[in-house]
Amino acid sequence: METLDMKRLPKHIAIIMDGNGRWAKDQGQDRLFGHYHGVISVRRVVEAAAEIGIQYLTLYAFSTENWDRPAEEVTGLMTLFVDTIAKEVPDLHQNNIKLVFIGNLGMLPEEARAALKNATDQTAQNTGLTLIIALSYSGRWELVEAAKKIAEKALMGAIEVEAIDESIFAENLATKGFPDPELMIRTSGECRISNFLLYQLAYAELYFTETRWPEFRKENLVAALLEYQSRERRFGKTSAQIQQI
């Protein structure tokens, strides 16, 4: 961690927490065992991100596609989310962490929605790390929702079609008010974005690691940050232009 350049940290890190099922299978256990161990990694990574000084951390906990998993796994995951949130909120609040949920939350069971609302309300005034949990989320769902919201505003005459630009579009996304992630991490060897933050990841550095999510710890996060700091971010410019800035 001493080798990190604290002046060049990303403000926002997004993570696809993958590999719980495969990790559990390797232990001869069922998939939910992997998800339960995944929660330990969530805790460690949230602690590490707050300690390092990351301002926003988005975790992909459940995609809209995950609803199609076996009913037993979906129910088990919902129970795990509700129990974990209820258990962790006091600690998160104590550490000044603000919890936000993004996704098609209307699809969640009533009990889960109540737990999320309670967690959001309790931590709303906190000013430290913003922890964004993507639940029942997909990038395409979010883009279609944004298009609908903008179309409605245009139909009502609240906005001119010609005035629609990237900033207006971003204001209609679930991530309104958050900076785009500069770093996206995916665990467990898969090299895909899988419908995650499709608009916001336009210029993110992508970091893929073989480490499975239940084994991901602070040192893995630091390794990703060191790799991020070794890359040159050009945003479509030339290397010479970037070095002049």
Binding site for ligand FPP (CB under 6 A): 17-22, 31, 35, 38-39, 42, 59, 61-62, 66, 80-81, 84-85, 133, 188, 213
| Shortest reach from residue 77's CB to ligand FPP, in Å | 6
Contacts of 49 (CB under 8 A, 6+ apart): 13, 57, 129, 221
- The CA–CA distances, whole Å, from 23 to 42, 161, 188 equal 15, 49, 9
| Shortest reach from residue 26's CB to ligand FPP, in Å | 9
The smaller minimum CB distance to ligand FPP, of residues 35 and 98, is found at: 35
Determine whether 66 is an active site residue: yes
The catalytically annotated residue of 30, 66, 95, 104 is 66
| Shortest reach from residue 201's CB to ligand FPP, in Å | 18
Question: What is the token pair recorded at 100?
Answer: 């936000």
The smaller minimum CB distance to ligand FPP, of residues 137 and 150, is found at: 137
Question: What is the token pair recorded at 64?
Answer: 């809209």
Q: In the complex, which residue's CB is closest to ligand FPP? A: 21
The smaller minimum CB distance to ligand FPP, of residues 132 and 150, is found at: 132
The smaller minimum CB distance to ligand FPP, of residues 139 and 146, is found at: 139
The catalytically annotated residue of 18, 172, 180, 220 is 18
Q: What are the beta bridge partners of residue 157?
A: none
The smaller minimum CB distance to ligand FPP, of residues 81 and 178, is found at: 81
Determine whether 18 is an active site residue: yes
| Shortest reach from residue 232's CB to ligand FPP, in Å | 31
| Shortest reach from residue 9's CB to ligand FPP, in Å | 22
Active site residues: 18, 66
